[in-house]
Structure 1
Amino acid sequence: MELNDLLAEMIERQASDLHLAAKHPPTLRYWGALSPVVLNGEPLAELGRDDVARLFASYLSDEELGAFRSGRDVNKSIEWEGHLFRSCFFQTRDGAAAALRLIPTSIPTLEALFGDDVETFRRLANLKRGLILTVGPTGSGKSTTTAAMLDEINRTRRERIITIEDPIEYVHQSKMSLISQREVGADIESVEQGALSALRADPDVILIGELRTPEAVRIAFALAETGHLVFSTLFAVSVSEAIQRLIESFPDSPDTMRRMLARSFAAVISQRLLPRANGRGRIPINEILLANTRVRGLIGGGATDLTVAIEAGRDEGMRTMDDAVLEAYRRGDITYDTAWNAVDNRERLGPRPVEVGVQEQSS
């Protein structure tokens, strides 16, 4: 077994990630779940202590091998058969380990992701300025949603788009727009340096891959306030938590940051992925907060729980996470059990439907 065999299987299975670790068989992640690799109908054996290093040997330079042997992680991009993989090679107590992610070159459209709910996302992609923040836990599809909105702009408008990413998640090709992607470590020293540098490139649209530091947050606010459309992501489980986290990034000047956020943001989208009722993948479910006079006033005045404001803005395209879950269930996209586990107010879901066969038997 060679690494190329595993990469080929990864592509064939449309897996997002490949995990290699001593004392465990090679494992793929697809549709969010881990599954051991099966080649030619046979499950693979556990990897030995030195197997991962052997699999990667031809892909690492002498300098990278030296860095790894000295105990440092090695992060690099691997190209194979026209596909690009982001890899992390590291040491563990049991030996070498690695994680590889397939970087998609095909970006899903907003229609493919959101179906009947697409109009709100199209309106956001048509904005000229403001901060559009997509939040959620790891693996919730934040980068995919952001990439789809960027691609909507790229396909339909003549704009200058610059992305600042660590690392690059999707590869964009210029269409109607002119797009340049910059990666931390390869093209720029840091997200903050790249975002400031982007200002000198006459951008209309800027993607900051993730707001990890207070300085990155401050720069994103400033870029949005100066007339740019800014996209970014943040780890938070809800819209309200995202607002609170942004403000708490600046404990010495929370009032100033509230006002900056109120002036600069256009939308906060909280996303999670739920399993489809047909068992074929997962569907994005979104809580959406849009900027309007009332919402800006609440944020500027110190409010962080904006549920009531979202409920009042349903006619404008806002919705709570419960709204989105219930809509998906009523469309038949998710099962009752999935909806039951995802909603906060289960009374809105109602009783479990009685199955036809069970009803006939009881009568």
Structure 2
Amino acid sequence: MIDRLNEMEAGHIMTLEDPVEFVHPHKTCVVNQREIGRDSLSFENALKGLLRQDPDIVLVGEMRDVETIEAALTVAETGHLVFGTLHTNSCVQTINRLINVFPSHQQDQVRTLLSFVLQGVVSQQLLPKSFEPGRCLAMEILVPTPAIRNLIREDKIHQIYSQMQIGQDKTGMITMNQSIRKHVDSGQIDVETAMSYSTNPEELGPQLGVKSR
């Protein structure tokens, strides 16, 4: 996504990574990459000094702790486009992680802020192909519609999954199970692999003809 923006936008991209995994040359954007441990002590420290360098787009390699997440939300609140990565299994779990890392007395405020600044969530995993060498990408995409923003704000995160299945032709959203099922239907993976990588096997099983025990 950073490379795509680097080809299409005109602006200043800053990345904070540990370590830098891919070097982005200047294309239509100026790209400055900072490595944690070499150019800055931590993600938190790097984010605090970031706004003085006037970026338009920011990549935070890993949002590991409350201080980094809080700083990233602050940067997003000021109107910057912020990308970040977390180790989660689904879009809903990602939203929960961003909120639950904060103390309980701060969570209402974080929910409100997140409902305004969130632009999208992508969850992905590589599945081993069942009938030939290689892997295929299964992904889940959440686009924060007004309804989903309200659910975040009102602490009804558990209802977001259902909203992700509404009006997908217009929103571009897809659930992980839908993505996995496409790979089954195309013959890239078998049912056993699909079930083992599903984040919601109780839903996927009946769709694939798997009888519940």
> For residue 206 of structure 2, what is the amino acid of its counterpart?
E
Partner of 1:319: 174
2:119 alignment partner in structure 1: 266
Partner residue in 1 for 2:140: 287
Q: Give how far 1:303 is off.
A: 1.5
**In structure 1, what is the Cα distance between the partners aligned to 2:29 and 2:133?**
33
User: Are positions 1:307 and 2:157 aligned together?
Assistant: no
Aligned letter for 1:226? T
SS in 2 for 1:312: coil
Alpha-carbon distance in 2 for matches of 1:155, 1:280: 32
What residue is the counterpart of 2:108 in the other structure? Answer: 255
1:339 and 2:194 equivalent? yes
Asked whether the equivalents of residues 288 and 320 of structure 1 are also in contact (C-alpha less than 8 Å), the reply is yes
Normalising by structure 1, what TM-score? 0.54
Structure 1 gap ranges (5+):
1-148, 352-363
1:17-36 mapped onto 2 (5 Å cutoff): none
Q: Pick the structure with more strand per residue.
A: 1
Aligned positions of 1:83-102 closer than 5 A: none
Aligned with 1:329 (options 168, 184, 190): 184
Structure 2 CA distance, aligned partners of 1:280 and 1:152? 28
What does residue 17 of structure 2 align with?
A: 165
| 1:207 aligned residue | 59
Separation (CA, whole Å) in 2 of partners of 1:313 and 1:187: 45
- Does residue 349 (structure 1) correspond to residue 202 (structure 2)? The answer is no
Q: What is the one-letter code of the residue matched to 2:181?
A: L
Give the distance between the partners of 1:279 and 1:150, measured in 2 at CA: 31
Q: CA deviation at 1:299?
A: 0.3
Sequence identity (%): 37
Matched residue of 2:62: which SS? Answer: coil
Deviation readout 1:72-105 (Å, 9 max, x if unpaired): xxxxxxxxxxxxxxxxxxxxxxxxxxxxxxxxxx
Q: 1:221 touches 1:265 (CA, 8 Å); kept in 2?
A: no
Match of 2:71 in 1: 219
Q: Tell me how far apart the structure 2 counterparts of residues 335 and 328 of structure 1 sit (CA, whole Å).
A: 8
Larger fraction in helix: 2
Partners of 2:51 and 2:183 lie apart in 1 by 40
Aligned mates of 2:86, 2:94 — CA distance in 1: 7
Q: Which deviates the most, 293-302 or 247-256?
A: 247-256
TM-aligned CA distance change 1:313 to 1:224, over 3 Å: farther
**Aligned residues between the structures:** 204
Question: How many angstroms does 1:290 deviate by?
Answer: 0.8
* Segment of structure 1 superposing worse, 300-309 or 269-278: 269-278
Root-mean-square deviation (CA, aligned residues, Å) is 1.7
In the alignment, residue 335 of structure 1 is paired with which amino acid? Answer: D
> Is residue 163–residue 180 contact of structure 1 (8 Å, CA) maintained in 2?
yes
3-state SS of 1:253 partner: helix
Amino acid in the other structure paired with 2:121: V
Q: TM-score, normalised by structure 2?
A: 0.89
Match of 1:230 among 82, 85, 93: 82
- Could you tell me whether the CA contact under 8 Å between 1:241 and 1:304 is conserved in 2? no
Distance in 2 between the 1:172 and 1:313 partners? 36
TM-superposed CA distance for 1:263, in Å, is 0.8
**CA distances 1:226-276 after superposition (whole Å, capped 9, x unpaired):** 111111101111222221121111122110011011111111111111012
